[in-house]
Amino acid sequence: MSDATQARRTVIYLLDQVLGEQRLLAESYAAGVLDRLEPQDRARAQRLVADTLRNLERCDKILSKYLKKATPLHVKNALRLGVYELCAGGAAHGVVNTIVNIVARHKRHGALKGLVNAVLRKVAEHGPAEWAKLRTPRLPKWLRNPLVQAWGPDAIRVIEDAHHAGAPLDITPKTDVAGDALNGDVLPTGSIRLQDAAQVSALPGFDAGDWWVQDAAAAMPARLLATQSGEAVLDLCAAPGGKTLQLAASGADVTAVDISETRLGRLRENLERTKLSAKVIAGDVLEQSGQYDAIILDAPCSATGTIRRHPDLPHAKDGSDFGALIDLQAQMLAHAWSLVKPGGRMVFCTCSLLPDEGECQVEEALGMFPDMAADPSAFAQLGVDSSWITEEGGLRLRPDYWAERGGMDGFYMALLRKSS
């Protein structure tokens, strides 16, 4: 039985975790926060927390008219949820009563139920008209400023529009015909885009392992590598496994490495569901050895390219760890290059919008390794715009690209060939 109160209570808890503890939603989901909810309530909670975070600036702008004193975070998050639902067309009676009751039952903040009731009733009356006048929410300054420096203010405003719109569901079919039953839009790169996807596990072909969920941008590195049957291929930082599945489907002899045993559990589940095979290793990238025909290094990064699907990221992070990530990427790139056979190839990629995690890394690597050369000609097979190819020979993808089709994640990739 659906329980809207429990779904909303879960949303408020998740907002507390993101905005108070700087904990990513994925971490809370992995810890089982949603497990007690019925499937429809689980979907509702995930949708509401994502949409509230996407609209946090708007929610706070409206609340600022009615809150004159500092409000405990838990109560403010309850109000934020209420503002979003009311301004998005939620039934005022149900939204207001449920939020008030949730706050009333809180051991420390129950006395503020009257404030919550008064504020939300004012929002129900005036909020929707005010909401329609507000700008698209902007990224926090700690992230917006470097992105404006990289891409310019006009581009960032369009990227923010893409973040606010969210992301459609993209899938990668195991074979050319595997996605036919889904009636989606086949993108130039071969991904299939579903605009009105229901529960993923209920879609045709899921149980049979005919496809897997993977953003169109994230599917390009494995296609760029163009592995052949029998090649020895290494997938570094492999979890949750979309690229591993692509490589295995090509017939390559795949070794998938990731430091997180927990995340590798999902990779193993996907291999079993799709009836594909790969050697799976839980370990540090910098401790791997051997020689491979082809390698993908999807290096740990800021993940700033995935904000349209993970709107919690700008609020759970502050950029303080970016310097360490950039150093780690350089170390991983250098070590991975030592594992490429002479005449072999490697794709370096990151799901980042920051040039320091993409273009700059490859530019420095090209100057460091005399046997390394970028191959921009390989991008022709992906069906992408030639203007996306960068000066050093990589490919820059952004959320505002393919806007008419629903956009894509921000990504950077480069195909690097080793001389014989």
Catalytic positions? 351
Structure tokens at 388: 């996306």
Give the span between the Cα atoms of 281 and 277, in whole angstroms: 13
For 171-254, where are the alpha helices, taking DSSP H only?
Answer: 216-225, 242-249
Structure tokens at 291: 């020689």
From the DSSP assignment, how many helices (H) and strands (E) are in the chain?
15, 12
User: What contacts 68, CB < 8 A, 6 or more positions away?
Assistant: none
Pairing relation of β-strands 292-298 and 232-236? parallel
Indicate the helix (H) or strand (E) that contains 279: strand 279-282
Structure tokens at 233: 């291929």
Give the span between the Cα atoms of 98 and 367, in whole angstroms: 60
Pairing relation of β-strands 292-298 and 395-397? unpaired
Beta partners for 192?
Answer: 171, 186
Contact in structure between 112 and 95 (CB atoms under 8 Å) = no
Give the span between the Cα atoms of 11 and 36, in whole angstroms: 13
Give the span between the Cα atoms of 286 and 236, in whole angstroms: 10
Contact in structure between 211 and 253 (CB atoms under 8 Å) = no
